[in-house]
Structure 1
């Protein structure tokens, strides 16, 4: 039994998302069905809540920015980890979306840098990847991320992950037990995907 099968047994089923073919990233723009909006009501951000998106795909950055800004988040997009860490130091953030496979410094190294720095160590981090080897390494090492999203993901999935991190005042906080129930609950968030990202 492979490591992913072992992890599925440990954490529950991963979010039900089809594995994308190895083609350039594509964003589809189907309208959001009313049924999905009823199933997962969006929780808007408190004024001034900032998200930093670190992903080398401009498509991922653009669509995540659209999702988050529609809910009142301020966003900063960075195409590599070095620029993302600089932006985090200069501007601060309430949550970070961090791709694993990046040019130069990868997402694992970037997360270690975030957790080592006293100024950033308490910022919640949601890691992302559609790369099977990166996912195996992620779950195998159980590094200190607060959640994980498998690409491709939908708008509903993004807000499901965000809602899990919000405190009573609507501000993202670090998960008490990062990833312990992430995979099992994540399947419920992907029943009606509407806008997908295909990216590594």
Structure 2
């Protein structure tokens, strides 16, 4: 008896030459094929919710646009901070994705401008950057950013941040008090974009 046969006998298996393999059983005919994942209903959809994307990278704008549009969001786009501020004032999006490094005015200066404007001060802003430095996060939060997201980002990360900021039952939307400080709106106050 060879080494291979000894191992099989120890493991309780016989040689393939001694016992034929059984043919696999055919799949039942009444089982439906798995659904195509692109056809499934998305649970993160918020039809009609508008998101402003302010980034000088066409690749980042296209990636965010694709993610958001596939979930029913309306996207607005700007390649400069100045253009983004103008769109935010005119169309009042429900959420803003704002890059930090932009030509001309940077994202921090744009955020400061948005927070000082009565029309745009309550719009949640997610700062985005290729650098995940604690100083950027601290400074962004200090001047009024609601969240910070590092590039590259996943679909899961984008929608988790949106839900955290827009769902009043989970976390209230930001409200700026008359003193200029940030305070939480009462949950269920009707201030939700949902």
After TM superposition, the score normalised by the length of structure 1 is 0.61
What is the distance in 2 between the residues matched to 1:157 and 1:177? 24
The 5 A counterparts of 1:62-77 are 62-77=62-77
Between the aligned partners of 1:86 and 1:98, the Cα distance in structure 2 is 13
- Cα displacement (A) at 1:132: 4.8
Partner SS state of residue 43, structure 1 = coil
CA shift in 2, pair 1:107/1:44, >3 Å:
same
The number of aligned residues is 137
Aligned partners of 2:121 and 2:73: how far apart in 1? 21
Tell me, in whole angstroms, the C-alpha distance in 2 between the residues paired with 1:157 and 1:109. Answer: 25
> Hey, what does 2:153 align to over in structure 1?
153
Per-residue deviation, 1:92: 1.5
Tell me the residue number matched to 2:137. 138
Match of 2:49 in 1: 49
Secondary structure, aligned partner of 1:56: coil
Q: Which residue is 2:188 aligned to?
A: none
Distance in 2, Cα, partners of 1:78 & 1:137: 21
Matched-pair contact (CA < 8 Å) for 1:54–1:80:
yes
Q: CA, structure 1 residues 177+67, in 2 after alignment: closer, same or farther (shift >3 Å)? A: farther
Runs of 4+ in 1 over 6 A off after TM superposition: 175-178
Compute the TM-score of the two structures, normalised by the length of structure 2.
Answer: 0.63
**What's 2:167 paired with?**
167
Does the aligned pair in 2 maintain the 1:42–1:159 contact within 8 Å?
no
Structure 1 residues 139 and 77 mapped into 2: Cα distance closer, same or farther (>3 Å)? same
Contact 1:53 1:61 in 2 (8 A): yes
Q: For residues 143-195 of structure 1, give each alpha carbon's deviation from its aligned partner in whole angstroms, at most 9, with x where no partner exists.
A: 2111110111111110111111122589x9338879xxxxxxxxxxxxxxxxx
Q: Which structure has more RCO (C-alpha within 8 Å, separation ≥ 6)?
A: 1
Residue 61 of structure 2 aligns with which residue?
A: 61
* Mapped partners of 1:146, 1:81: distance in 2: 17
Matched, 1:100 2:100: yes
Kindly indicate which of the two structures has a greater share of residues assigned to helix. Answer: 1
Q: What is the RMSD computed on CA atoms of the aligned residues?
A: 2.7
